[in-house]
Structure 1
Amino acid sequence: MFDDRSPIYQQIADQIKEDVVSGVLREDEQVMSTNQYASFYRINPATAAKGFQLLTDEGILYKKRGIGMFVSAEARQTLLAQRRERFFEEVVDRMLAEAAKIGVPIEEIIGRIEQAKGREDV
Structure 2
Amino acid sequence: MNGKLNEKKPIFEQIKDWISDQIIDETLVDDDKIPSTNEIVEFFKVNHLTVAKGVNQLVDQGVIYKKRGVGMFVAEDARNTLLKERKHQFKDEYVKPMIEEMSKLGLTEKDLNQLIEIVKEDDHGKRRI
Identity, % of aligned pairs? Answer: 36
Residue 70 of structure 2 aligns to which amino acid in structure 1? I
Give 1:45's aligned residue: 48
Matches within 5 A, 1:49-68: 49-68=52-71
Alignment RMSD, CA only?
Answer: 2.8
Matches within 5 A, 1:1-122: 1-106=4-109, 109=112, 112=114
Gaps of at least 5 residues in structure 2 are 125-129
Measure, in 1, the Cα distance between the counterparts of 2:30 and 2:89.
23
The offset of 1:67, in angstroms, is 1.2
Deviations 1:57-113 (CA, angstroms, capped at 9, x unpaired):
122211122211011112211111122222223333333323333333445546x48
Residue 104 of structure 1 aligns to which amino acid in structure 2? L
Residue correspondences, number: 119
Give TM-score scaled by structure 2 length: 0.71
User: Greater CA deviation, 90-99 or 50-59?
Assistant: 90-99
The offset of 1:30, in angstroms, is 0.4
Closer, same or farther: CA 104–4 of 1 in aligned 2, 3 Å: closer
Deviations 1:37-56 (CA, angstroms, capped at 9, x unpaired):
22343333233222211211
Measure, in 1, the Cα distance between the counterparts of 2:101 and 2:39.
47
